[in-house]
């Protein structure tokens, strides 16, 4: 469910008219609904109420500070994958004891910052990372709380670029080698074993891959305990999909959190562990839209093009993953549907949001909204073609706030400068 709907012929975000917002902010821009954000995190939390898990919101899905502060207000922690995301979570006031640090390439500087902050857990993904974390912890007189991320060799379906649980993926420790890694970790003075972590991918549309992975991990927890390890935590990651619509949604909507919770209770409930979840997309995906204006309607020989002022640098998912986003006029006009290729102004053939999408008649100046754009939209935006990052707007009832402004060209250029030459150090 989301809070974007037509009212008096025009799309509204909660009680704010998108046409009015576009006139005030300019296009393109992202718009997020506070009511949707709060509803989704509460639905997830209520599904697991009896298990009292740590819900560590996946910061990479949408890292705007205002979104993170809402997550904090709702009692969530944070799953971070970089020092920058750690800094954002702390700036938003999230309790370090609710922060989990994931990712395959943590640097020693990032490890030190997380240790100093006193985070809840490192999800360790390789033996070299374990060695590095041990060294950093010892240098600071600390012990790092860790869970190994286990790769269960389970295919979760969906796009190959967001699959993380197969043997050929870069993530995690092979489940068959996990006992040896835990034995090594137990002998390291700077490491404190806390649990097991697993995350098999993103935008997963059914429960069967979760069940196969979690059953394998539950067996591993029992085996590790039999080896003498105190496994008190089980981090089951994120991955629940959201309904984008389109051809990829032919199998129906993704599982509801209530059904997901029933599966977890059956498999993990008997283990008596603290559960940790890292939801991201399912919290913020349907809570955001990207609003763009039609620059031109180009009538081609083979097809017609709807040329927008938003480009692949603003929303890269269709170019990167062939991802589907519903495209809707902000004020639909009557008339027979027409097929358009929906494209942007970036100087790339791949700057295409949709092929032959049926839409009401469109003219220059019309506004369109890309639905389900709250996750992996603004966070993956760039300034390619020297196009400024688009602003982000948060709506709460009848109020709105610009929570990230559009930079001016002067601001874009301010961090660049003519070289001030210095001699390079001589190497032997």
* Distance, CA of 187 to CA of 93 (rounded, Å): 35
Catalytic residue among 347, 363, 420, 425: 347
- What proportion of the chain, given as a percentage, has pLDDT over 90? 80
- 347 catalytic? Reply is yes
The dihedral over CA atoms of 8, 11, 16, 20, expressed in degrees to the nearest 10, equals -90
Residue 167: band (very low, low, confident or very high) from pLDDT cuts 50, 70, 90: very low
Can you give the pLDDT at residue 374?
A: 98
Indicate the CATH number of 103-277 among 3.10.20.600, 3.30.70.940, 3.20.20.10, 3.30.390.10: 3.20.20.10
Can you give the pLDDT at residue 152?
A: 80
- What proportion of the chain, given as a percentage, has pLDDT over 70? 93
Can you give the pLDDT at residue 139?
A: 98
Q: Give whichever of 2-6, 13-17, 171-175, 419-423 has the largest mean pLDDT.
A: 13-17
Q: List every span in the chain annotated with CATH 3.20.20.10.
A: 103-277
According to DSSP, the residues that pair with 33 across neighbouring strands are: 395
Half-sphere exposure of 26 (CA within 13 A, CB side): 9
Can you give the pLDDT at residue 334?
A: 94
* Distance, CA of 78 to CA of 98 (rounded, Å): 6
Can you give the pLDDT at residue 341?
A: 97
Residue 160: band (very low, low, confident or very high) from pLDDT cuts 50, 70, 90: very low
Can you give the pLDDT at residue 199?
A: 85
Q: Is the pLDDT of residue 311 over 60?
A: yes
Q: Is the pLDDT of residue 129 over 50?
A: yes
Structure tokens at 52: 């009292």
List pLDDT tens digits, range 97-112: 999 999 999 999 999 9
List pLDDT tens digits, range 177-195: 899 999 999 999 999 999 9
Can you give the pLDDT at residue 165?
A: 38
Can you give the pLDDT at residue 300?
A: 85
Summarize the confidence of residues 353-375 as an average pLDDT. Answer: 97
Average pLDDT, the chain: 92
Q: List every span in the chain annotated with CATH 2.40.37.10.
A: 4-31+286-413
Sign of CA dihedral 364, 370, 374, 380: negative
Summarize the confidence of residues 12-32 as an average pLDDT. Answer: 98
Residue pair 335/342 in contact (Cβ under 8 Å)? The answer is: no
Q: Tell me the CATH class for 4-31+286-413.
A: mainly beta
Can you give the pLDDT at residue 8?
A: 95
Q: Is the pLDDT of residue 301 over 90?
A: no
Residue 169: band (very low, low, confident or very high) from pLDDT cuts 50, 70, 90: low
What's the predicted TM-score (pTM) here?
0.92
């Amino acid at each position: 469910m989301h809070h974007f709907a037509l009212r008096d012929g025009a799309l509204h975000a909660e009680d704010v008219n998108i046409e009015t917002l576009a006139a005030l902010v300019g296009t393109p821009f992202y718009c997020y609904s506070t009511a949707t954000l709060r509803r989704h995190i509460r639905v997830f939390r209520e599904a697991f109420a009896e298990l009292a898990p740590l819900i560590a919101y996946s910061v990479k899905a949408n890292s705007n500070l205002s979104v993170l502060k809402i997550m904090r207000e709702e009692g969530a922690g944070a799953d971070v994958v970089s020092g920058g995301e750690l800094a954002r979570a702390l700036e938003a006031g999230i309790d370090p004891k609710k922060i989990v640090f994931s990712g395959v390439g943590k640097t020693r500087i990032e490890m030190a910052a997380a240790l100093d902050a006193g985070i809840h857990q490192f999800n360790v993904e390789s033996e070299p990372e374990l060695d590095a974390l041990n060294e950093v912890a010892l240098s600071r007189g600390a012990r790092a709380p860790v869970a190994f991320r286990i790769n269960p060799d389970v295919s979760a379906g969906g796009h190959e670029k967001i699959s993380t649980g197969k043997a050929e993926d870069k993530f995690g420790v092979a489940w068959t080698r996990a006992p040896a890694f835990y034995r090594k970790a137990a002998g390291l003075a700077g490491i404190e074993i806390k649990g097991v972590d697993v995350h098999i991918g993103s935008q997963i549309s059914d429960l069967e891959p979760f069940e196969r992975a979690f059953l394998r991990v539950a067996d591993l927890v029992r085996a590790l305990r039999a080896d003498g390890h105190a496994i008190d935590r089980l981090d089951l990651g994120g991955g629940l999909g959201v309904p984008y619509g389109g051809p990829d949604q032919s199998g129906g909507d993704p599982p509801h959190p209530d059904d997901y919770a029933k599966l977890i209770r059956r498999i993990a409930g008997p283990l008596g562990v603290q559960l940790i979840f890292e939801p991201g997309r399912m919290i913020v995906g349907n809570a955001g839209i990207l609003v763009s204006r039609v620059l031109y309607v180009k009538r081609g020989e083979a097809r017609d093009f709807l040329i927008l002022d938003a480009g692949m640098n603003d929303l890269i998912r269709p170019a990167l993953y062939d991802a589907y986003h519903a495209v809707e006029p902000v004020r639909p006009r009557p008339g027979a549907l027409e097929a358009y290729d929906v494209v942007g102004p970036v100087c790339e053939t791949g700057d295409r949001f949709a092929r032959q999408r049926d839409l009401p008649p469109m003219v220059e100046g019309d506004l369109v909204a890309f639905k389900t754009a709250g996750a992996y939209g603004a966070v993956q935006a760039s300034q390619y073609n020297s196009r400024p990052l688009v602003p982000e707007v948060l709506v709460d009832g009848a109020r709105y706030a610009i929570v990230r402004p559009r930079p001016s060209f002067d601001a874009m250029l301010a961090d660049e400068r003519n070289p001030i030459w210095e001699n390079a150090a001589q190497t032997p």
